[in-house]
Structure 1
Amino acid sequence: MTDLDPFTDLLDYPMYVVTAEADGERAGCLVGFASQCSIRPVRFMVWLSKANRTYRVAEHAERLAVHLLRRDQDRLARLFGAETGDRTDKFTDVPWHPGPGGSLILDEAPAWFVGRVENRIDGGDHVGFLLAPEAAAENCAGSRIPLLTLNDTHDITPGHPGN
């Protein structure tokens, strides 16, 4: 097997918080594997670890919400990255509101979108969720803000080993 670290160690891509709701359960996690993957039609792929509770909820969800965080939102990054929903209700002390189709929108996120799950693709220890965006908003008046990136999260120990 080829070690990809010499390549990926040079990357510093955005981090996202993905939230899901299904059958009365809610979940969310910090995600680094995500990207727009089509222009026409617009599609976005989010990869969730099979070890995460968020993945287990998302398996049954019709929609996922994808949130960007600012670089200074360390508290949210740690909550959704270092805590596991198996032991912690991450939404207890976080302001949020229901979004389209019952999605969970984090009020403090500078930008978010909700996407309808069109397909799920097994990629090994992660599953890709192909999303068709249905709604999007930004709370930063269109200005460029420093986003939370992979390099900002190296000191966050994942809530589940192997993430």
Structure 2
Amino acid sequence: MTDLDNFTDLLDYPMYVVTTAAPDGERAGCLVGFASPCSIDPPRFMAWLSQENHTYRVACRSAYLAVHVLSDEHRETARLFGEETGDRVDKFARASYSPSEYAGVPVLDDCVAWFVGRVEARLEGGDHVGFLLAPVAESPPGDPGPGVIRLSDVVDFSPGHPA
């Protein structure tokens, strides 16, 4: 059996912050690299969450997730959601956000663009689970400025959980 390191080491994919809220009001969010649009008609997006992650456990109880695109000027937001774990820290006490009309899912102020998606399905994929999202709301068009945060921008982060 082979791993994909020779292939994936060549990739420099965008990083996203995914946020969610459970029916009991518990909020969670994390930095995600495994995510992509996956259908044009109907529009769909897949976000993969590590089963080790606090956000995954909250997302399993939620009907909605929000996906945020960050630019270089939002590096500290990326660091907060990438290095801290909701098992120990309330990230939202240190982040500017608004609860959406969709189950109160937090929408970050420090981002270029965002969308809220209804969870249509969950797909087991090894140590990550894919959440298939149907968009229900999105931000106005944004300008990424100097660039969208990519994997190469966050390789020096110390993750709050192992992948």
User: Which band: TM-score by shorter chain?
Assistant: over 0.9
Query: Which residue identity does 2:19 align to in structure 1?
Result: T
Alignment of 1:31-110 (within 5 A): 31-101=32-102, 102-110=104-112
What is the CA–CA distance in structure 1 between the aligned matches of 2:129 and 2:35, rounded to whole Å? Answer: 11
What is the CA–CA distance in structure 2 between the aligned matches of 1:88 and 1:138, rounded to whole Å? Answer: 30
Partner of 1:115: 117
Change (3 A) 1:70 1:138: farther
**Kept in 1: contact 2:112–2:144 (CA 8 A):** no
Partner of 1:125: 127
1:21 aligned onto 2:21? yes
Deviation, 1:145, is: 4.5
Per-residue CA deviations over 1:15-56 (Å, capped at 9, x if unaligned) read: 000001002100000000000000000000000000000000
Secondary structure of 1:7's match? helix
Partner of 1:4: 4
Partner of 1:134: 136
- Identical residues among aligned pairs (%): 61
Alignment of 1:143-162 (within 5 A): 145-161=146-162
What is the CA–CA distance in structure 2 between the aligned matches of 1:3 and 1:138, rounded to whole Å? Answer: 39
TM-score, with structure 2 as normaliser: 0.94
Secondary structure of 2:76's match? helix
**Kept in 2: contact 1:64–1:103 (CA 8 A):** yes
Number of residue pairs aligned between Structure 1 and Structure 2 = 161
**Kept in 2: contact 1:98–1:105 (CA 8 A):** yes
Consecutive unaligned residues in structure 1, runs of 5 or more: none
Secondary structure of 2:116's match? strand
Consecutive unaligned residues in structure 2, runs of 5 or more: none
CA RMSD of superposed structures (Å): 1.3
Change (3 A) 1:123 1:68: same
Deviation, 1:138, is: 3.9
**Kept in 2: contact 1:110–1:138 (CA 8 A):** no
TM-score, with structure 1 as normaliser: 0.94
